[in-house]
Amino acid sequence: MWRRKRILVTGGAGFLGSHLCERLLEEGNDVLCVDNFFTGTKDNIVHLLDKPHFELMRHDVTFPLYLEVDEIYNLACPASPIHYQHDPVQTTKTSVHGAINMLGLAKRVGAKIFQASTSEVYGDPEVHPQTEDYRGNVNPIGPRACYDEGKRCAETLFFDYHRQHELEIKVARIFNTYGPRMHPQDGRVVSNFIIQALQGEDITIYGNGEQTRSFCFYTDLIEGFIRLMATDKSVSGPMNLGNPYEITIRELAERVIEMTGAKSKLIFKDLPADDPLQRKPDITFARNTLGWEPTVTLEAGLGSTIDYFRNLIAQHG
């Protein structure tokens, strides 16, 4: 007999998690959002709270969770350097204990489980663009290690549960993604630059601005999540998901100034320790396996993100 799929989204009140919950509800699923509201907020999901197939639970994934679900998307973890470095021990615990708890849950109920891993597993990469077989260049004792090594260890756990307990896993390595509902104070480059420009402040470039990133709009990424989760058992990943369009941070600042019509100047600050100099996904694997590739241009994505922050500032100052 047909019944709705019961899907757990950890970190569901965050930027990506809230968009994912929305998409899963639209597809007719029963969605359980679990979050401890460290970086996420009820505002991101308030419009879902009166939907009968949406449920919200305040819970920290470093503690075990017992419930019955068919699928799990494990997104719980602060993603911006400011937030994940605020309490680095908790960040590692969230990635590692969180993975153990969610994998344990998946094993008990026989659920399929998705892990939101990251391009940070490649560290400051010597291979460009990054392919999934590149093993990375991570400093295990630096300020980013709590996040990078936590996520690497989570990947290890996912693959060990897969080999040892035959769990069906889907591991996505997400590259920089942006869009509406990013936390305005999380210090990530897209939100920082847009907010600075809209408020007429100087734009803070760390280092000389020649470092590169490749920015994916959230709608493209969520589509990749859904397609990866729908693959058959033989596909576990890890799979890069991101937009291969690469840009320097300086160029990004100039685009934001141009698009907002701001008078902001560029000011240069120290480059944080271990800040990767280049990053661009090779998405051949995703293209071939999912028939997926990003469709939203940087210009269109920035336009809608600028509109979002403009409204937010108008409402809250």
Provide the binding-site residues for ligand UDP, judged by CB under 6 A.
80-81, 176, 187-189, 192, 204-206, 211, 213, 249, 271-272, 275
* Identity at 198, one-letter amino acid code: L
Q: Which of 25, 56, 69, 94 binds ligand NAD (CB under 6 A)?
A: 94
Residues 123-182 binding ligand NAD (CB under 6 A) are 174, 176-177
Smallest gap from residue 175 Cβ to ligand NAD (A): 6
CB 256 within 8 A of CB 197: yes
**Token digits for 298?**
């940087």
Tell me the CA distances in angstroms from 10 to 32, 46, 109, 126, 225, one per residue in order: 8, 16, 16, 32, 14
Please list, in sequence order, all residues whose beta carbon lies within 8 angstroms of the beta carbon of residue 233, skipping any fewer than 6 positions away.
168
The whole-angstrom separation of Cα 106 and Cα 112 is: 7
Judged by CB under 6 A, does residue 245 bind ligand NAD? no
CA distance 172 to 312: 30
Residue 189 contacts which entry, ligand NAD, ligand UDP, none (Cβ below 5-8 A, type-dependent) = ligand UDP
In terms of DSSP bridges, do strands 246-248 and 212-214 run parallel, antiparallel, or are they unpaired? antiparallel
Q: Which is nearer to ligand NAD, 176 or 212 (CB)?
A: 176
Complex with ligand UDP: residue 115 or 176, whichever CB lies closer? 176
Least separation in angstroms between CB 258 and ligand UDP: 17
Stretch that binds ligand NAD, among 7-15, 48-56, 260-268, 303-311 (CB under 6 A): 7-15
By beta-carbon proximity to ligand NAD, the closer residue of 14 and 264 is 14
Smaller CB separation from ligand UDP, 25 or 256: 256
Task: Sort 247 into a burial class: Cβ within 10 Å, 0-12 / 13-18 / 19+.
Answer: middle
The one among 14, 224, 237, 301 contacting ligand NAD by CB under 6 A: 14
Pick between residue 160 and residue 258 the one whose CB is nearest to ligand UDP. 258
Partner touching 118 among ligand NAD, ligand UDP, none, CB below 5 to 8 Å by kind: ligand NAD
Cα angle 184, 190, 196; round to 5: 65
Give the Cα separation of 149 and 165 in Å (integer): 23
Among 22, 31, 73, 78, binds ligand NAD (CB under 6 A): 78
For ligand NAD, give the closer residue by CB, 17 or 276.
Answer: 17
Using CA atoms, how far residue 44 sits from 10, 47, 109, 115, 180, in Å, is 14, 8, 29, 21, 10
Counting contacts by CB under 6 A, is residue 54 touching ligand NAD?
A: no
CA distances from 135 to 95, 138, 167, 238 (A): 19, 9, 23, 12
237 near ligand NAD (CB under 6 A) = no
Count other Cβ atoms within 10 Å, centred on residue 85.
Answer: 17
Binding residues vs ligand NAD (CB under 6 A):
10-11, 13-17, 35-40, 60-62, 75-79, 94, 98, 116, 118, 174, 176-177, 183
